[in-house]
């Protein structure tokens, strides 16, 4: 099957042509007549989101991007602004999902996992409150119990099965909650 044109050249977009190759499940972007990049056609792929951010920043018609890729204007704009800012943390949060800046950063998540085993061992009833108090003293930020509940539930299950947490188990849980 030949390439399918997604966005062609027009007045507002004189340089970029974007094609979809359904056989290879790819998006191909041409700048002028030169192949600029090839990206997997998967909506959850960070490269796919970065492509849309770059196209937004390059001035490609936003209505075409919305119509052909299915994301909303505020989402594409947020990705474009985060990419333009050059701030890795802003970009991470912009690409990671909906909503505003998340309080549960990778550092806080890692701290909570590390702290859990020590606190839970001696305080099975108020461990969440104690860990949140420790987070506040170290990071100077309040985190509600509800933000940490899914993490603590998974940690409790693993801890109670093996009467402790292995480093591999901590890493696996960290990756699933990141």
SS3 of 45-112: CHHHHHHHHHHHHCCCCHHHHHHHHCCCHHHHHHHHHHHHHCCHHHHHHHHHCCCCCCCCCHHHHHHH
- Does 58 lie in the same domain as 81? yes
d(CA 6, CA 64): 9
| Structural domain includes residue 101 | no
Tell me the pLDDT of the chain averaged across its residues.
84
- Does 60 lie in the same domain as 22? yes
- Does 155 lie in the same domain as 83? no
Instruction: Read off the pTM.
Output: 0.57
- Does 68 lie in the same domain as 38? yes
- Does 119 lie in the same domain as 91? no
Percent of the chain topping pLDDT 90: 22
From 31, 62, 96, the end of a domain falls on 96
- Does 125 lie in the same domain as 74? no
Give me the domain span that covers residue 133. 106-177
pLDDT at site 130: 93
- Does 141 lie in the same domain as 119? yes
Where is pLDDT greater, at 115 or 104? 115
pLDDT digits (tens, 9 = 90+) for 18-77: 899 888 889 998 888 899 899 998 888 889 999 999 989 988 888 888 988 888 899 899
- Does 91 lie in the same domain as 8? yes
DSSP-based three-state secondary structure for 127:
helix
């Amino acid at each position: 099957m030949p390439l399918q044109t997604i966005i062609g050249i027009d007045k507002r977009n004189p340089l970029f042509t974007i094609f979809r190759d359904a056989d290879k499940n790819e998006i191909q972007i041409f700048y002028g007549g030169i192949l600029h990049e090839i990206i997997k056609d998967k909506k959850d792929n960070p490269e796919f989101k970065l492509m849309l951010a770059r196209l937004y920043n390059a001035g490609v018609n936003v209505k075409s991007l919305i119509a052909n890729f299915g994301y909303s204007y505020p989402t594409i704009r947020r990705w474009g602004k985060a990419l333009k800012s050059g701030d890795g943390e802003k970009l991470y949060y912009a690409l990671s999902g909906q909503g505003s800046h998340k309080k549960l950063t990778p550092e806080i998540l890692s701290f909570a996992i590390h702290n859990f085993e020590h606190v839970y061992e001696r305080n099975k009833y108020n461990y969440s409150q104690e860990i949140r108090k420790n987070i506040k003293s170290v990071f100077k930020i309040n985190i509600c119990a509800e933000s940490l509940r899914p993490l603590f539930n998974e940690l409790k299950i693993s801890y109670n099965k093996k009467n402790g947490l292995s480093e591999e188990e901590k890493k696996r849980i960290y990756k699933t909650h990141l």
